[in-house]
């Protein structure tokens, strides 16, 4: 044995160092999370401002048009109608099933993808305010979230029309989509928060995220129904798509089915892991954001 008594073996020294590193890191992470949480609490205190700015954004876009935000609804309805007819033919899907599936899917997807892409520029577009007013920074992300919830509220009007048109009944199961929707929003918020921070620093990222979202649209069952897949291999890969689970907890209750246990577990786990990550990153870098803009 080459090790002298009283000396630590390299292994012991290493493990001690590792333990020290982990402990200090955990302490740091703890501090970051506290900083991030206090910022979020400050944002929650000025919820009235967040609400007003979100409304303001929606109104501003359609200020001088007669129909206002309902243009969103109309263009969405036209898209769903066209896609429903074309792809219903291609997939030879029964219209009663396919139309509601597509309508819910497209509406939710546009909600998700808009939040992800606007989350990327969440801090960048708020540069003017960030550099002048010491508002808690998460105000800008929550304002964007609220704006998109409002837009979703306009788009959701399409659903009853579609259901009526194809004669599909609404069931009480649909109410399960409410907790599902809350969980979806909780997940999207951490995604937007992380993307907002990283994209403020690395300006190429919004483009990359944009392309990933486009790929995501085709990989997620929105235009195609999973039960129409003839190739079973595709079905095995589907549970690996996190967006599928997030979509499913809102979509399937609206279509009269219960989401699977898997859907709930994955969505909850994503929310937990994601928020720990988001709080750490946001708490660590939030004071740098003003410098990056």
Helix/strand/coil for 274: helix
> Does residue 130 bind another protein (CB under 8 A)?
yes
User: Judged by CB under 8 A, does residue 21 bind another protein?
Assistant: no
d(CA 246, CA 275): 15
SS3 113: helix
Min dist. Cβ of residue 68 to another protein (A): 12
Using CB under 8 A as the binding rule, whether residue 31 contacts another protein is answered as no
Contacts of residues 125-129 at CB distance under 8 Å and 24 or more positions apart, as own/partner, are 127/293
65 binds another protein (CB under 8 A): no
Which of residues 29 and 49 has its CB atom nearest to another protein in the complex? 49
Residues in 176-215 that interact with another protein by CB under 8 A: 201
Q: Is 52 in the site for another protein (CB under 8 A)?
A: yes
Question: Could you say whether residue 167 binds another protein (CB under 8 A)?
Answer: no
Name which position in 42, 124, 129, 157 contacts another protein (CB under 8 A): 129
Query: According to CB under 8 A, which one of 1, 4, 133, 233 is a site residue for another protein?
Result: 133
Residues 211 and 47: their CA atoms lie apart, in Å, by 33
CA 277 – CA 191 distance, rounded (Å):
10
- Helices first, then strands: H and E counts in the chain: 12, 0
For another protein, the closer CB: 60 or 211: 60
Contacts with another protein by CB under 8 A: the residue count is 23
Hey, CA dihedral for 177, 183, 188, 191, is it positive or negative? negative
Q: Does 125 bind another protein (CB under 8 A)?
A: no
Specify whether the CB–CB gap between 134 and 111 falls below 8 A.
no
Residue 264 in contact with another protein, rule: CB under 8 A: no
66: contact with another protein by CB under 8 A? no
Please provide the DSSP assignment of 19-36 as one string.
HHHHHHHHHHHHHHHHHH
Among 63, 215, 231, 232, binds another protein (CB under 8 A): 63
- State which residue, 53 or 188, has the beta carbon closest to another protein: 53
Residue 292 burial by CB count (10 A; 0-12/13-18/19+): exposed, middle or buried? middle
Specify the length of the chain in residues.
Answer: 293
* From candidates 170, 217, 264, 292, binder to another protein by CB under 8 A: 292
Give the binding site for another protein (CB under 8 A). Answer: 46, 48-49, 52-53, 56, 59-60, 63-64, 128-135, 201, 287, 290-292
């Amino acid at each position: 044995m080459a090790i002298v008594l009283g000396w630590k073996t390299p292994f012991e020294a290493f493990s001690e160092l590792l333990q020290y590193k982990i402990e200090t890191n955990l302490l740091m992470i703890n501090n970051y999370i506290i900083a991030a949480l206090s910022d979020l609490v400050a944002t929650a205190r000025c919820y009235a401002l967040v609400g007003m700015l979100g409304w303001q954004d929606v109104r501003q876009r359609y200020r001088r048009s007669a129909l206002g935000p309902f243009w969103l609804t109309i263009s969405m309805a036209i898209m769903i109608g066209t896609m429903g007819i074309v792809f219903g033919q291609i997939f030879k899907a029964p219209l009663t099933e396919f139309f509601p599936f597509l309508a819910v899917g497209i509406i939710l997807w546009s909600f998700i993808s808009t939040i992800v892409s606007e989350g990327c520029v969440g801090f960048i577009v708020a540069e003017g305010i960030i550099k002048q007013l010491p508002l808690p920074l998460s105000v800008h992300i929550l304002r964007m979230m609220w704006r998109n919830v409002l837009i979703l509220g306009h788009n959701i009007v399409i659903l009853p029309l579609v259901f009526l048109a194809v004669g599909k009944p609404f069931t009480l199961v649909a109410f399960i989509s409410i907790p599902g929707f809350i969980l979806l929003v909780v997940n999207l918020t951490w995604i937007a928060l992380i993307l907002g921070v990283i994209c403020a620093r690395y300006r190429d990222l919004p483009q990359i995220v944009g392309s990933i979202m486009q790929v995501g649209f085709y990989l997620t069952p929105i235009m195609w129904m999973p039960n129409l897949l003839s190739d079973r291999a595709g079905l095995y890969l589907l549970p690996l798509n996190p967006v599928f689970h997030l979509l499913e907890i809102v979509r399937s209750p609206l279509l009269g089915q219960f989401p699977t246990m898997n859907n709930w577990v994955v969505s909850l786990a994503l929310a937990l892991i994601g928020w720990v990550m988001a709080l750490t990153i946001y708490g660590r870098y939030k004071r740098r954001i003003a410098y990056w803009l």
